[in-house]
Amino acid sequence: MDGTTGGRRQPAPEHGQAPQLDFGALFECAPNPYVILDTAFRIVAMNQAYLRVTMRRREEILGRNMFEAFPAGPADADGSSTRMLRDSLTRVLRTGAVDHLALIKYDIPGPDGRFEERYWSATHTPLFDHRGELALILQHTVDVTELHRLREASARAGWNSDKADGKVEGELLQRAHAVQQANVSLEAETRHLRNLFEQAPGFMAVLRGPEHVFEIANAAYSKVIGHRDVVGRTLRDALPEIAGQGFFEILDAVYQSGEPFVGRGIKVYLQPQPNAAPERRYLDFVYQPIFDADGAVTGIFVQGNDITEQKRAEEAVRESEARVRRLNDTLEQRVVDRTLELQDARDALQRINDNLEAIVTARIADLRAANDEIQRFAYIVSHDLRAPLVNIMGFTSELESLRGQFSKFLSGQAEEVVPEAVRVGVEEDLPEAIGFIRSSTDKMDRLIKAILRLSREGRRVLAPEPLVMTDLLEGVLGTLAHQSEGVSFHVEQLPDIVSDRLAIEQIFANLAENAVKYLDPARPGRVTIAGSEQGPVVRYTVADNGRGIDPRDFDRIFDLFRRSGAQDRPGEGIGLAHVRALVRRLGGAITVASELGVGTTFTVDLPKVLEHGADHS
Amino acid sequence: MPNAKPVTIIMVEDDEGHARLIEKNIRRAGVCNEIRHFTSGTAAIEHLFDPAVRDAGPLLVLLDLNLPDMSGTHILGLLKGDETLKRPPVVVLTTTDDQREIQRCYDLGCNVYITKPVEYETFAQAIRQLGLFLSVMQVPEAL
């Protein structure tokens, strides 16, 4: 058990004039077993004591890895022994300090190849080169198998070990064991902290020295920098792409000032993979200076969070907000545009309406003017036609009176003195000629009067007044009494109307007169006048059981001077033309339905109320 | 006739036939007064406004309304608007029986309005009655 005697940089003897020592020989023949490993745990040297205790030959193990040279035995299926050894060696590498393994069960194969149970107590001592860097590990190991077995046996026998040697041994072993336990728990704690560090969600790294050499970096950090191997490299070397982004300067400042730096949402361009284009990332981080016992800065603890996703989400939100805003603006603009379009359309429509109104007004004025023109024309023509008619009739009368005188004179003469031709001329030819002239002029006079009446009717100002139609019809039919003997009139309940009395009277007088005039002598005449209201329109019908009208003449009968059927009744073909003109002037319409030999029905639709000033001529 | 000077009849009528028939029937009524016939309004006005005529003696005007050069109502207005010529009676004798026209003529100061009936017997009767009327009516003396 030489574990406590191991120290750093074992010096050569300091005192006395010691002869030149051969350290190689000393090492070789030292009674304690020694083996020397490099940092990869390869066996680079051992002494005779070591070969003896491990039952090996030098050439078997020299240059080989420790764990290849001494593989785990069958009793170490879970590898706990080799791990214990490896952990100890690794601790030395990491800490540069002596590490003790107070008791380790590590079976080794005997000369026959079979594994033998062995317990060891080992001390691992770091050896530094001339630059002070750890270069080798010296293992001093002691086979304590017998001791271990003895102790276990005494424990089983319940011996009180009062034997001084035994007690010393026991205490020593216990103490060693306690140290080892402390080491184990320390190691566990360290491992725990390492795990925490490694698994911490935030990225962490420790940069050492003024050149910011990565001492350690956790998984999150590794992820941020694209899983590059950075430990042991300077920041400039490990992350060349951040040059020019200001981080070196900040780190230098932190290192020099000892003041921490806190960055929020800092933008950094990092290569996700070697040779890849740098990606933009956003980081929240702290550069926390690490101080040594003297308060000098020895490194910088880097800790932070990659907030790129959060930042992108924020950007996405901002972008979508902006898009919504733009959409809103666009929408508003579109609404404004559309509104303007609609307004334009409405204005255009208004202009068209105005124009239309003007056009209609102009058209009405034109029609009025044309109508007035026709009225004047009819009026003038009728008068100018009448003037020569006065002469024809006048001088015809003069002729007739002269003929009377001739006739009287001839009647006083003897028959033989008056030639037959003269007598016939005066008594027969002249009266015949004069008769034709008279009947023609009479007819012409009637036609002219009719035209005159129509034109006059068109010039008359309408005067709407409430009319009790049943009474009005009774009066109209009364004037027909002398020409309608034997005809039965039936006036049903008629809707009243506000209209021009004279026009209404003339309309129904003409229709009733026509009905009576064209009755069928073969059957008793019957004329029915009925009416009904249809909203703003009042409909009157005048129906007879007369001789009827040929459907081909339905339109003709309303034309001036046109008549239908046998011309065996007096008339100029004026009545219905007059009626239609009146009905139209009152804003109404007239239609006829008839069947020859059965009867005729005239239907008159009129506005229920004729407005004052309304004139549909 | 109480008048010292017989009434001169001024007939304004563009239709020669009408004029002749009117004259015949006036004569047949026994009226022998001088009848001066004018076939245009212009000629009639020129004659009537001649001081020798205007201020000379009692006049009676037979006026047709339908004249080629000017309307009868215009002539009527001129006559009735004149201080002297407003006095002689004016008989409007025309084919028009339009109520408004008749009304207008009376408003302008026409004294009698007679429609020429186409039926000659009626016409002749009317003229003869006018002649009888003329024979008994008092006409103002000229100033």
CATH of the domain at B56: 3.40.50.2300
Q: What is residue A7's predicted lDDT score, i.e. its pLDDT?
A: 40
Tell me whether B71 touches chain A (CB under 8 Å).
Answer: no
Q: What is residue B2's predicted lDDT score, i.e. its pLDDT?
A: 46
* Chains A, B: CB pairs < 8 Å: 50
**DSSP conformational letter for A57:** -
For residues A356 and A313, give the distance between their C-alpha atoms in angstroms, rounded to a whole number.
Answer: 61
For the stretch A63-105, pLDDT in tens is 999 998 888 888 888 888 889 899 999 999 988 888 888 888 8
The nearest CA of chain A is from the CA of B54 a distance in Å of: 30
Nearest residue on chain B to A389, alpha-carbon basis: B118
State whether residue A601 is helix, strand or coil.
Answer: strand
Is residue A434 packed enough to be buried (19+ CB in 10 Å), middle (13-18) or exposed (0-12)?
middle
Which of B 46-65 lie inside 8 A of A, CB atoms? none
- Whether A151 shows a pLDDT value over 50: the answer reads yes
Query: Confidence class of residue A13 from pLDDT cuts 50, 70 and 90?
Result: very low
Give the structural domain span for B122. Answer: 8-136
- Whether A430 shows a pLDDT value over 80: the answer reads yes
CA A597 to chain centre: 75
Q: Fold match between A3-7+18-199 and A203-306?
A: yes
Percent of residues in chain B assigned helix, strand, coil, to nearest 5 = 45, 15, 40
Q: What CATH class is the domain A463-607?
A: alpha beta
* E strands, A134-278, in order: 134-143, 203-208, 213-217, 261-270
Mean pLDDT of chain A: 84
For residues B71 and B63, give the distance between their C-alpha atoms in angstroms, rounded to a whole number.
Answer: 10
CB within 8 Å of A138: residues ≥ 6 apart: A6, A34, A35, A36, A124, A125, A126, A127
Q: Tokens 């022998």 identify what position?
A: B32
Helix or strand (DSSP H, E) at A547: none
The nearest CA of chain A is from the CA of B19 a distance in Å of: 10
Bigger pLDDT: A536 vs A570: A536
Tell me whether A391 touches chain B (CB under 8 Å).
Answer: yes
The answer to whether residue B3 sits within a structural domain is: no
Q: Which of B15, B18, B98 sits opposite A456 (nearest CB)?
A: B98
User: A391, B124: Cβ pair inside 8 Å?
Assistant: no
Q: What angle do CA A462, A457, A538 make, to 5 degrees?
A: 50
Q: What is residue A212's predicted lDDT score, i.e. its pLDDT?
A: 92
Mean pLDDT for the stretch of residues A528-551: 92
- Whether A30 shows a pLDDT value over 90: the answer reads no
Query: Confidence class of residue A5 from pLDDT cuts 50, 70 and 90?
Result: very low
Question: Within a 10 A sphere around the Cβ of A51, how many other Cβ atoms?
Answer: 17
The nearest CA of chain B is from the CA of A447 a distance in Å of: 12
The nearest CA of chain B is from the CA of A429 a distance in Å of: 21
Is the CB of residue A507 less than 8 Å from the CB of residue A587?
A: no
Q: Tokens 């004029």 identify what position?
A: B19
Tell me whether A437 touches chain B (CB under 8 Å).
Answer: no
Q: What is residue A104's predicted lDDT score, i.e. its pLDDT?
A: 87
Lowest mean pLDDT among A339-343, A543-547, A556-560: A556-560
Bigger pLDDT: A175 vs B28: B28
Lowest mean pLDDT among A372-381, A395-404, A511-520, B33-42: A372-381
For the stretch A453-473, pLDDT in tens is 777 777 778 889 999 999 999
Is the CB of residue A127 less than 8 Å from the CB of residue A135?
A: yes
- Whether A208 shows a pLDDT value over 50: the answer reads yes
Tell me which of 3.40.630.30, 3.60.21.10, 3.10.180.10, 3.30.450.20 is the CATH number of domain A203-306. 3.30.450.20
- Whether A158 shows a pLDDT value over 70: the answer reads no
For residues B137 and B143, give the distance between their C-alpha atoms in angstroms, rounded to a whole number.
Answer: 18
Q: Which of A390, A398, A441 sits opposite B95 (nearest CB)?
A: A390
| Helix runs in A286-429, H state only | 308-411, 420-424
Is the CB of residue A431 less than 8 Å from the CB of residue A403?
A: yes
The answer to whether residue B129 sits within a structural domain is: yes
Nearest residue on chain A to B17, alpha-carbon basis: A391
Q: What is residue A6's predicted lDDT score, i.e. its pLDDT?
A: 40
Number of domains in chain B: 1
For residues A246 and A249, give the distance between their C-alpha atoms in angstroms, rounded to a whole number.
Answer: 5
- Whether A1 shows a pLDDT value over 50: the answer reads no
Bigger pLDDT: A528 vs B142: A528
Please choose, from the candidates A140, A143, A145, the residue with its C-alpha nearest in 3D space to the C-alpha of residue A45. A140
CA A470 to chain centre: 70
Q: What is residue B3's predicted lDDT score, i.e. its pLDDT?
A: 45
Is the pTM for the entire model greater than 0.95?
no
Q: What is residue B47's predicted lDDT score, i.e. its pLDDT?
A: 93
For residues A150 and A195, give the distance between their C-alpha atoms in angstroms, rounded to a whole number.
Answer: 40
Question: Within a 10 A sphere around the Cβ of A362, how many other Cβ atoms?
Answer: 11
Domain ranges of chain A: 3-7+18-199, 203-306, 324-457, 463-607
Query: Confidence class of residue A381 from pLDDT cuts 50, 70 and 90?
Result: confident
Q: What is residue B36's predicted lDDT score, i.e. its pLDDT?
A: 94
Q: What CATH class is the domain A3-7+18-199?
A: alpha beta
Q: What is residue A197's predicted lDDT score, i.e. its pLDDT?
A: 80
User: B119, A389: Cβ pair inside 8 Å?
Assistant: no
Low-confidence ranges of chain B (pLDDT < 70): 1-4, 118, 137-143
- Whether A255 shows a pLDDT value over 60: the answer reads yes
For residues B87 and B82, give the distance between their C-alpha atoms in angstroms, rounded to a whole number.
Answer: 9
The nearest CA of chain B is from the CA of A576 a distance in Å of: 23
Mean pLDDT for the stretch of residues A183-201: 77
Tell me whether B36 touches chain A (CB under 8 Å).
Answer: no
Query: Confidence class of residue A9 from pLDDT cuts 50, 70 and 90?
Result: very low
Q: What is residue B122's predicted lDDT score, i.e. its pLDDT?
A: 80
For the stretch A107-131, pLDDT in tens is 888 888 888 888 888 889 898 888 8
User: A394, B17: Cβ pair inside 8 Å?
Assistant: yes
Is residue B64 packed enough to be buried (19+ CB in 10 Å), middle (13-18) or exposed (0-12)?
buried
Q: What is residue A472's predicted lDDT score, i.e. its pLDDT?
A: 92
The answer to whether residue B40 sits within a structural domain is: yes
Q: What is residue A159's predicted lDDT score, i.e. its pLDDT?
A: 52
The answer to whether residue B142 sits within a structural domain is: no
Please choose, from the candidates A458, A498, A447, A506, the residue with its C-alpha nearest in 3D space to the C-alpha of residue A480. A506
Tokens of A236: 């400039």
